[in-house]
Copies of this chain bind each other. A is one copy, B any other.
């Protein structure tokens, strides 16, 4: 048994340079026009660098963009659920250096092969199923500049993720090597942008019961204001793994993307890049990658049945909402607990934040004491 193949059927295609080629390209970058990119674009670029978006070589052409919006396909015919694009205020039709929005560091060079305009509302309607500016993903697309630039990139940096997160920032080649070392072939990815409470522990453990192991894969890029920062989340996850999981059943890692909140389409992207990381399954919970009330609770389940069966090798592990049930006297889900809401300990993010801010007593059935300790520290 071996790991799933990277998307597109070939090997991993990391766009990052190394060694002498890297030094030479860094020197060349200094002489190129500088384009300051956005946080989301930076995440996408680093992902291209480490091979997470295999087999993409750079930002999408207009034909790719059109095909992805309309029918989930690149111009080449390959399945792809969300546009990976770069925007620019000015028309650029030559090589350019892509520059970090905060540090000013040159992150990549790009050979611009096409400069085109898009109908942003059309992208939003297709990808987010709404053009409501209150949707954070829509707001992000509508804030893009006038032109989109297409072309292959040579990536010069990891954007500082390795320095900030150390061994947690694993490339797809690194997770694959780790899985092989552990003898895994059936690997479930647990996508997370939150600390892990017992409900998340339960999802991961169900996956461990039926797979060889789980990749707990934290988003390290930006999300909504007020969310818990990645350094706190990954610390919480580390203590949970140490105290409540068996050695050799979990790998923790992080990936550099920002959230798009595209619900079902983002669930497909989550599965696609997990295939590159070597995961055969993706845990897809209730309202996966959703925000507000834009998506039905199981839209991200259904979409996997609506795409052609050969679109992805990585398959969803579809799960319902999970919680402690006092009558079951155990963890359960909307699929396994027959009791009423009054018996189920379901805690909203807002409620939890209030408890943590007030230093209130939080039920052990909701979260492990070691986890709550770290979160309380963060809120103090």
A interface residues (Cβ-Cβ under 8 A, vs B): 1, 198, 202, 205-206, 208-210, 243-247, 249, 305, 317-319, 328-333, 335-338, 364-365
- Closest Cβ of chain B to A355, distance in Å, is 19
> Known: A206-B209, A206-B210. Is A245-B330 also a contact (CB below 8 A)?
no
> Hey, which chain B residues are within 8 Å of A318, CB to CB?
210
- Looking at A208, A318, A335, A365, the one whose CB has the most chain B CB atoms below 10 A away is A335
Judging by beta carbons under 8 Å apart, are B205 and A332 in contact? Answer: yes
CB contact between A336 and one of B208, B243, B330, B365 (< 8 Å): that residue: B208
CB distance from A249 to the nearest CB of B (A): 6
Q: Are B206 and A338 in contact, with the CB atoms below 8 A? A: no
Chain copies in complex? 2
B244 touches A328 (CB 8 A): yes
CA distance A318 to B209 in the complex (A): 8
Contacts of A365 in B (CB 8 A): 329
Q: Which residue of B lies closest to A368 (CB)?
A: B329
A248 to chain B, nearest CB (A): 10
* Residues of chain B lying within 8 A (CB to CB) of residue A247: 338
Q: Contacts A329-B364, A330-B331, A364-B329 known; A209 to B336 CB distance under 8 Å?
A: yes
Q: Which residues of B contact A329 (CB under 8 A)?
A: 364-365
Q: What's the nearest-Cβ distance from chain B to residue A345, in Å?
A: 13
Query: What B residues does A243 contact at CB under 8 A?
Result: 338
The winner among A198, A319, A338 for most chain B CB atoms within 10 A is: A338
CA A12 – CA B71 in complex, angstroms?
40
**Shortest distance from the beta carbon of A221 to any chain B beta carbon, whole Å:** 29
Q: Is the CB of B336 within 8 A of A245?
A: yes
Check if B246 sits within 8 Å of A335, measured CB to CB.
yes
Across-interface contacts of A337 in B (CB, < 8 A): 246
Residues of B within 8 Å of A305, CB to CB, are: 1
* Residues from chain B with Cβ under 8 Å of A245 in the complex: 336, 338
Nearest CB in chain B: distance from A302 CB, A:
13
> Given A206-B206, A209-B333, A247-B338, list of 6 further CB < 8 A pairs?
A205-B336, A209-B336, A245-B338, A246-B336, A249-B336, A330-B330
Most buried by B among A209, A249, A330, A338: A209
